[in-house]
Structure 1
Amino acid sequence: MKTTRHRLGVAFFAALPLLSLAACGSSGGTTASDGSVTISFLYDNGEATVNSAKAVVQAFEAANPKIKIETESRPAGTEGDNIIKTKLSTGEMSDVFWYNSGSLLQALNPGQTLVDLTGDPVMKNVEETYLPVVTQAGKVYGVPTGTATGGGILYNRKVYEKLGLQVPKSWAEFTANNDKIKAAGLTAVISTFKDTWTSQLFVLADFFNVQAASPTFAQDYTANKAKYATTPAALTGFKRLEEVQAKGYLNKGFGSATLDAGMKLLAEGQGVHYPMLTGVVPGFIGKFPQVGTDVGFFALPGDDTAKNGATVWEPGAAYIPKTTKKLDAAKKFLAFIASPAGAAAIGKATPPAGPYRIKGAALPADAVQVAKDLQGYLDKKEAAPALEFVSPVKGPSLENITVAVGSGLTTAAEGAAQYDKDVEKQAKQLGLAGW
C-alpha cells in the first residue's frame, strides 16, 4: 500500500470512499435575523462520502430547522491533506470537517487547532473503544463518521457448508481448511496482485496477532526500537503470505488478477478464501447480489486459538476547529452525527460494511453478512485497531514488497527487511524521535 487514506491503498479508497478521507471548508458561520444559524461542513469528493454527508446533513436540518449547513467537497489524497493543514494554519477551516482518525490526526497538531471534546455531552453516544483513535495527549477531538471495517478473510459460506468446514481460529486450522478446499478442486486463497494494494492484507490484517504476542510493538516500532524483520510476531505476516503461495493455494493468474476478478471467484464459489477488507463487499452487491449473504468474514488466524481476534480499520471522524465562530451549532451537528439517528441517515445512503461505533446504532436486519460477523468480534471485545491507527510509521512501498513476497520472488525475511528500510524516510520526515 502507498501512503493513503487509512493507509490501505489509494486505489482502494478511490473505489471505496466509505473509509472516509477528510473535509474542510470556509471558516465561520452566519446568523440570520430570524435567529437561524448557518455553519459550514466540508468533506472529500468520493461518491459514497458525498452521499453519506448529504444524507446526514438533510436529516440534521430536518431535526434542527434553525441550523443550516453549507456543504463543499475537496479532493482526496495528499492534495486534500495539504488543504486541511493549510486551512487550519490560516484560520480558514470550516466549522466542521471530516478527516482521518488514528495516527494521521497528530499531523494536525490538534492541541492547538481543534476543539477539545473530552467529557463533552457531544461524546455521550460514542463507544469507548473508539476513543483512542481520536485522542491525543489524553484529549478527545472527534466523533465517528461511519462504520468500522474489518481486515481478515472473506470466505464463501456455502462452500464451507458443503465441505463441512468450520471457521478457523488458528493458522493450523486455516491450513487444514485450505488443504481440503484444494483437494476439492477449488482455489483455497484468492490473490489479486494486479491491484497491488490488495496484496497487503496478510501483513496488515495480522496486527491483532502481533499486538497479542508483542503488546508494545506499536510504540517500539514508532520509536525505532522494533522492526518487522527482527520481531517474530511481526515477521509472521510476511511468512503467511509466502506460505500460501508456496503451498499452491492461489488462483491461476493471480499476478494479473483484479479485485473484481477476485470477488467474482469468491461470489461464485470457485475461490473460497480472500484476504480482504469487509468494506469492499457492499460495492459488489450490484454485480454479485449473493455476496451480501453468501460471503462471511473471519479474523486472520494466529497461532494461539485463545487469542483470536480481528484487526479493525476505524471510521474517520468529524472535528471542530478552534477558529469556528459557531461552536454551539457545530457541537449540535457533531452530536447528531454521533447519534443513532445520524448513523441511520448515513447507513441509508451508504450500506454499512461493518458495525457502527455509536451506542444504540444497530446494524439493519438486511446488513451484509460480513458486517454482522465483524460485529461479533467487537461485541466480544476481540478486536484491535490496525497499526496505522496507533503508529504514524508507514512506508510507501509495502504493496510492491508484498506482491514480490506473495509471488515467490522475494522471501518473507527479505521482504520484511526491505519494508523496515522503506519506512525510514517517512519516519524521518515526520521528525519522530529515535530515527
Structure 2
Amino acid sequence: MINRSTRRPMLALGASGVALSLTLAGCAGGGGGGGGGGDGEEVTISYLVDNQESTVLVAEALIEEFESQNEGIQVELETRPQGAEGDNLIKTRLSTGEMNSVFAYNTGSLMQALNPDQTLVNLDDQEFVGLLDENFVKAVSTDNGVYAAPMGQAMSGSIIYNKDVYEELGLEVPQTWDEFIANAEAVKEAGDIAPIVQTYGDTWTSQLFVLGDFANVLAEDPEWAEKYTNNEAKYVDQPALAGFQKLEEVYEKDLLNEDFASATYADGVAMVATGEGAHYPILTFAASQLSASNPEAADIVGTFPIPGDNAEDNALTVWMPGGVYIPQSTEGAELEAAKKFVEFVTTKESCDIQGEIVAPTGPFVIEGCELPAEVPAMVSDQQPYFDEEKTGLALEFSSPIKGPALEQITVAVGSGITSAEEGAAQYDEDVKKQAQQLGIEGW
C-alpha cells in the first residue's frame, strides 16, 4: 500500500512529456490487484497512473477519500512512465490480460487505438454517464459503448493574451480573423511588444494555429471529421487549409517575436504574462505554467478562440480531459469495487480534490462540478463558451488519424520555408501513411 499523506497545496502542471496529439497524459492504470471475496471480506483493487508528480498527488488524495467512504475496499497505486514507454506498457498489459483493476489514459484517438470494444469494460449503464458533457462522451465512446469517466478538466487550443495591453491600446477581443490581425498590427505599431508570440524552440507549439482552428472547420462543415477519416476531405482544401494559411500569414506580415525560432513554451507564457508579447496561440494548460512562473499575472492573461471568418460562429476548439478505464480482465468482486472507484471519480468530492491540488486548465466536464472560486483568467474566460455550447471538439477526439510529422511541417510553414498549400499537401501525405498503418478503409 502507498503511504497516505495530508492534502497538498495546488500544483502547477508542467508541459513536459505532453506529446501533441495534444492530449494531456495525466492518466492512470495499474498492475495486478487482489480480489476480494464474499460479504465482510476486503477487496483490493489497483490503480495505474503516469508518474508525473501532480498526477500522483491527485491519485493519492482521491484514494484516501475513496477508502474513507468505502470500508472494505483498498486501492493500491502503481505508476507508469509517460510517453511512448507508458503507452506500450498499457497496450501490452491489455493484450496479455494483466492490466490493473483501473487505469487512466488519454481519450480520443489514443483511446480508440486500445481497441476498446475488445479490451475495456462498457460503462454506458452507469448512472454517472448522464452527468458527463456530451463532448467527453464522444471522446470515450464507440458505436458499442462508453468506456471512461473524466479525470481533470477540459482545455482549449486558443489564443492567450495580455489584458493590460488590450486596455492600454483600446483593443477589444476579436470575433473574426480580420479583427485579430488588425489587433496584432495595432500592437506592432505601438512598438516594443511582440504582436504574436511563437515558440518553435518547442516544436509541438507550432501546431496550434492548425489544430486550434478546428472549431471553425466544424462550423463550416460539421461532417468534416467523418469525411476526413473516410479519405473524403483533405487539409489542402478549404475549410481545413485556413489553419495553415493563418500560420503563414502571421509570419509574412512580420507579426512574430524576433526569437520565434528558438523561444520555448515557457518563454511564450512569460512573454504574455509580462507584456513583452500580446498574443500566444497555445493550449490553456498554460494556466499551470502561468501559476508556476508568473502567478502575479493570473488576472492579466486571458484567452479567446482562434477566430474564423464569421463572428457568429466564433467558438473554442476544446480538448477533453483524460479518462479512467476498467479493463475487461477485471472481474467479480474486483470489478464491482473498480466500478465504485470510477463512479467516485465523477463526484463533486473528487472534482474538489482535483481542483485543489492541480491548477485547473478549463471547466470540468461533469454536471455538478465547479471550478474553485479563484482561477486564472485564461481558465474562467473559457466558461461562457462551454455554457453557451460554443465549442467544437479537437479533431483527435473525432478521428483516429493524426500524422506524426505535423509539428515539423507547421514549423516550416510558420517560418516561411514552406507555403501553406505545400505544407497542407505534405500533411495530407503524412496522414495517408498513418491511416494505412491503422488499416482504415478507403486509404
Q: What is the TM-score with the length of structure 1 in the denominator? A: 0.94
Are 1:407 and 2:415 matched, yes or no?
yes
Q: Distance in 2 between matches of 1:31 and 1:425?
A: 47
Residue number in structure 2 paired with 1:336: 344
| Unpaired runs of at least 5, structure 2 | 1-13
Partner SS for 1:428: helix
8 Å Cα contact 1:123-1:338 kept in structure 2: no
Q: In the TM superposition, what is the alpha-carbon distance from 1:34 to its structure 2 partner?
A: 4.8
Q: Distance in 1 between matches of 2:261 and 2:70?
A: 52
Q: Distance in 1 between matches of 2:146 and 2:154?
A: 18
Q: In the TM superposition, what is the alpha-carbon distance from 1:301 to its structure 2 partner?
A: 0.2
Alpha-carbon displacement from aligned partner over 1:212-242 (angstroms, at most 9, x marks no partner):
112221111111111101x211000000001
Q: Which deviates more from structure 2 when the two are superposed, residues 77-86 or residues 35-44? A: 77-86
Are 1:194 and 2:201 matched, yes or no?
yes
Are 1:176 and 2:191 matched, yes or no?
no
* RMSD over aligned Cα atoms: 1.9
Q: Distance in 1 between matches of 2:374 and 2:19?
A: 26
Instruction: Map 1:91-130 onto structure 2 (within 5 A).
Output: 91-130=97-136
Q: Which amino acid aligns with 2:314?
A: N
Residue in structure 1 matching 2:30, options 22, 25, 38: 25
Q: Which amino acid aligns with 1:111?
A: D
8 Å Cα contact 1:293-1:369 kept in structure 2: yes
Are 1:267 and 2:255 matched, yes or no?
no
Residue number in structure 1 paired with 2:3: none
Partner SS for 2:328: coil
Alpha-carbon displacement from aligned partner over 1:298-333 (angstroms, at most 9, x marks no partner):
000000111010000100100111221312111111
Q: In the TM superposition, what is the alpha-carbon distance from 1:19 to its structure 2 partner?
A: 2.0
Residue number in structure 2 paired with 1:355: 363
Q: Distance in 2 between matches of 1:115 and 1:246?
A: 51
Residue number in structure 1 paired with 2:168: 162
Are 1:285 and 2:291 matched, yes or no?
yes
**Could you say if the C-alpha distance between residues 187 and 301 of structure 1 is closer, same or farther in structure 2, counting changes exceeding 3 Å?**
same
Q: What is the TM-score with the length of structure 2 in the denominator? A: 0.92
Q: Which deviates more from structure 2 when the two are superposed, residues 199-208 or residues 327-336? A: 327-336
Q: In the TM superposition, what is the alpha-carbon distance from 1:285 to its structure 2 partner?
A: 1.8
Residue number in structure 2 paired with 1:323: 329
Are 1:422 and 2:430 matched, yes or no?
yes
Partner SS for 1:384: strand
Q: In the TM superposition, what is the alpha-carbon distance from 1:82 to its structure 2 partner?
A: 1.7
Are 1:152 and 2:155 matched, yes or no?
no
Instruction: Report the number of matched residues.
Output: 425
**Could you say if the C-alpha distance between residues 18 and 109 of structure 1 is closer, same or farther in structure 2, counting changes exceeding 3 Å?**
closer
Q: In the TM superposition, what is the alpha-carbon distance from 1:125 to its structure 2 partner?
A: 2.9
Partner SS for 2:440: coil
Partner SS for 1:29: coil
| Unpaired runs of at least 5, structure 1 | 1-8
Q: Which deviates more from structure 2 when the two are superposed, residues 28-37 or residues 383-392? A: 28-37
Q: Which deviates more from structure 2 when the two are superposed, residues 49-58 or residues 164-173? A: 49-58
Q: Distance in 1 between matches of 2:225 and 2:16?
A: 26
Instruction: Map 1:39-78 onto structure 2 (within 5 A).
Output: 39-78=45-84
Q: Distance in 2 between matches of 1:234 and 1:95?
A: 41
8 Å Cα contact 2:47-2:103 kept in structure 1: yes
Partner SS for 2:35: strand
Q: Distance in 1 between matches of 2:157 and 2:256?
A: 19
8 Å Cα contact 2:162-2:300 kept in structure 1: yes
Partner SS for 1:409: coil
Q: Distance in 1 between matches of 2:270 and 2:105?
A: 32
Residue number in structure 1 paired with 2:11: none
Q: Which amino acid aligns with 2:24?
A: L
Residue in structure 2 matching 1:249, options 248, 255, 258: 255
Partner SS for 1:152: strand
8 Å Cα contact 1:174-1:301 kept in structure 2: yes
